[in-house]
Structure 1
Amino acid sequence: MPSVEKVARTDAGLAAELRIAVMRLRRRLASERQPGNDLSMNAMAVLGLLHRKGEQTVGQLAAFERVQPPSMTRTVTCLQDGGYVERRPHPTDGRQVVVVLTDLGRDTVIADRRRRDEWLTRRLAALSTEERDLLRRAAPLLDRLAQED
């Protein structure tokens, strides 16, 4: 079996290593969620998007999360039923509504992020200065990979 260093020398090998590492980190961060938070990762992603970008239509949320609008409608309905979001009339298009975070939704996102950031901060502290600098440079690249089609 080839060594990890040899596999990573090819783009396909690097892709495989990144996929595995990112998925493991995602699962680990998911396990560090705020206790008592029973929302799905998809629901939390919607709350996070609303926290970052402000009010959005269901169509905008669906496009950003790359799901079909009926699926997003179900997610938004669950979030609304739980008091995490509200639907309000669209300011310029009477046929649409916008989805807005409630105080509960905002507090949930902030508490969840704080807990996971604290865990990751502790893990980063165990790395060397050079390793943390490398991750600082890699973070924007990983974000760009996630954004591109």
Structure 2
Amino acid sequence: MEANQDIQFASELRNVMIRLIKKLRKESQTGLQLSLTERSTMALLYQNKAMLPSELAASEMITNQSMSQVLNHLSELGYIIRTASLTDKRKVNISLSELGERTLLQFRHERDEWLARAIAATCSAKEQAILKQASGMLSTIVDLKI
């Protein structure tokens, strides 16, 4: 019976986290013009500075053709820069433009701001401390490699 309760708890936690993620996506006016894959691609470029389109596609688990469409849209918006590789002229490195970086940081800030307001409005100081502890535990779970 305990295993079923553990699975039920895991299911409830997963559902709440999915709902929170969906809610956060809607709380950024800046990010609404972009698809989830476009935002995720921008985040990858922010973390890695520059990547090849094939590396981005592999990281996002989409086809090279789909990534090409993502990159074309980000390019139209002025969010990325394409630069020929110094070692292989057939390859193109993709990086965030200054506008792309500012936009990424803006929609992250909008979501963080909303979440901070929501936590302050709904949680007591004790509950906020519990959330901080849970955040650390969730990070450990996310980093687990099994």
- Answer whether TM exceeds 0.5 for this pair: yes
Q: Does 1:72 align with 2:67?
A: yes
What does residue range 32-43 of structure 1 map to in structure 2 within 5 Å?
32-35=27-30, 37-43=32-38
- The counterpart of 1:54, out of the listed 41, 49, 65, is 49
Contact 1:34-1:112 within 8 A present in 2 as well: yes
Contact 1:8-1:14 within 8 A present in 2 as well: no
1:30 aligns with 2:25: yes
| Structure whose residues are more often helix by fraction | 2
Q: Does 1:107 align with 2:102?
A: yes
Amino acid at match of 1:138: A
CA deviation map 1:56-85 (0-9, x unaligned): 111222222222222112101111122110
The answer to whether structure 1 residue 139 and structure 2 residue 135 are counterparts is: yes
Q: Give percent identity, aligned residues only.
A: 33
In the superposition, the TM-score normalised over structure 1's length comes to 0.80
- Deviation per CA, 1:108-149: give whole Å up to 9, x if none: 111111111110011122323333233333334434555657
Q: Letter of the aligned partner of 2:92 in structure 1?
A: V
C-alpha spacing 1:30/1:37, structure 2 compared with 1 (3 Å) = closer
Give the distance between the partners of 2:141 and 2:58, measured in 1 at CA.
Answer: 17
Equivalent pair of 1:43/1:75 in contact (CA under 8 Å): yes
**Please, what is the CA RMSD of the aligned residues?**
2.6
Whether the 8 Å contact between 2:25 and 2:31 is mirrored in structure 1 is no
State the alpha-carbon separation in 2 of the partners of residues 101 and 116 from structure 1.
Answer: 20
- In 2 relative to 1, CA 68–142 (structure 1 residues): closer, same or farther, beyond 3 Å? farther
SS of the aligned residue for 2:33 comes to: coil
Choose the corresponding residue for 1:10, options 5, 12, 22. Answer: 5
Q: Which runs of 5+ in 2 are unaligned?
A: none
Aligned-partner SS, 1:88:
strand
TM-score scaled by structure 2? 0.81
AA matched with 1:131: E
* Pair 1:30–1:144, CA change in 2 (3 A): same
Q: Secondary structure at the match of 1:10?
A: helix
CA contact (8 A) 2:85 2:93 kept: yes
Q: Gaps spanning 5+ residues in structure 1: where?
A: 1-5
